[in-house]
Amino acid sequence: MKSSERTFRRKVLNFYKTRGRHHLPWRKTRDPYHILVSEMMLQQTQVSRVIPKYTQFLERFPTAQTLSDAKLSEVLKLWSGLGYNRRARMLHEAVKLIQAEYKGSFPKSVQELEKLPGVGSYTARAILVFAYNEPVVMLETNIRSAFLHEFFKNTSGVLDAQVLSVIEACVDTKNSREWYAALMDYGSHVKKAYQNPGRRSKHHIKQSKFRGSLREVRGKILSLLVERSHTETLLTKETGCSSERVRDALLGLSGDGLVVKKGRNWTLAT
């Protein structure tokens, strides 16, 4: 390991010891199911919004088995407010697959984990790191920002392949769990303290605005359907959106397996 990489590791770990977010509930578990729930919830959602929902979700569904046995409509009702509701369906499908194919035991390889619905490259590796302390190489937005800030200060259009080579050199082979937790906290810090280093990544994508988007319409519809079924006309009235926008949102939600039409009424999928 180069001296610059050793210095970086000391800086990150010292930051974590003094300012790390040790209180986060998913930092206190080694249960792969709990880790999966947290990672699915944290995708494109702020930590402050996830914490109470994560706690409520695990109170209702404490094990993969209890979630697998639940109806999708129950899961969607509890997920309501987090947004990106397809994640709830994929999480539900993932635990069902674990029960059916793996007899309730979580897979312990990247290849097998990536076969689960909604589990991509990062999420698979996060489960291995935080549940099993495996020293795998992984990359997400805060980790990327940490390395861009320290190793690519005056460079734009940085490829993930370049970042991954440095990450691999810095991986803690004995305690990857703490190392990656520290990296994420440090990356979150530099994004706030400096102009977001992630913007210098070749792969940076600016998130589209939520207000006025079809995502907003979908969210409004699901919030209404959590309470009871509605006709398309009533959904148009109560959301305050145009009939065309409501129809487009319903088609998308139906295609994602989140809602179904029964007669004239739309309701949550079961």
151 domain residue, yes or no: yes
In this predicted structure, what is the pLDDT of residue 1?
Answer: 65
In this predicted structure, what is the pLDDT of residue 268?
Answer: 92
Q: Are 154 and 231 contained in the same domain?
A: no
Q: Are 123 and 166 contained in the same domain?
A: no
Q: Are 47 and 75 contained in the same domain?
A: yes
Q: Are 73 and 56 contained in the same domain?
A: yes
56 domain residue, yes or no: yes
207 domain residue, yes or no: no
Q: Are 67 and 119 contained in the same domain?
A: yes
Ranges of the chain with pLDDT below 50: none
Q: Are 164 and 97 contained in the same domain?
A: no
Q: What's the pLDDT tens digit per position in 111-130? A: 999 999 999 999 999 999 99
149 domain residue, yes or no: yes
What is the torsional sign of CA 70, 66, 105, 109?
Answer: positive
Q: Are 12 and 42 contained in the same domain?
A: no
206 domain residue, yes or no: no
Task: Pick the last residue of a domain from 200, 222, 255.
Answer: 200
Q: Are 87 and 218 contained in the same domain?
A: no
Q: Are 87 and 41 contained in the same domain?
A: yes
Alpha carbons 270 and 267: distance in angstroms, whole number: 9
Q: Which of 5, 39, 114, 178 is catalytic?
A: 39
Q: Are 17 and 52 contained in the same domain?
A: no
205 domain residue, yes or no: no
Alpha carbons 78 and 33: distance in angstroms, whole number: 17
209 domain residue, yes or no: no
140: which 2 tokens? Answer: 């997400």
Q: Are 124 and 156 contained in the same domain?
A: no
Q: What is the 8-class DSSP label of residue 156?
A: -
Q: Could you give the C-alpha distances from 50 to 53, 60, 91, in angstroms and in order? A: 5, 15, 15
39: annotated active-site residue: yes
148 domain residue, yes or no: yes
Q: What's the pLDDT tens digit per position in 233-251? A: 999 999 999 999 999 999 9
In this predicted structure, what is the pLDDT of residue 168?
Answer: 96
3-class state of residue 260 by DSSP: strand
Q: Are 41 and 123 contained in the same domain?
A: yes
Q: What is the CA radius of gyration of the chain?
A: 20
Task: Pick the last residue of a domain from 83, 111, 132.
Answer: 132
How many structural domains are present in the chain? 3
Which range marks the domain in which residue 244 is found? 214-268
Q: Which 3-state string (H, E, C) describes 214-233? A: HHHHHHHHHHHHHHCCEEHH
CATH of the domain at 258: 1.10.10.10
CATH of the domain at 49: 1.10.340.30
Task: Pick the last residue of a domain from 200, 227, 242.
Answer: 200
What burial class does residue 263 get, using C-beta atoms within 10 Å of its C-beta: 0-12 exposed, 13-18 middle, 19+ buried? exposed
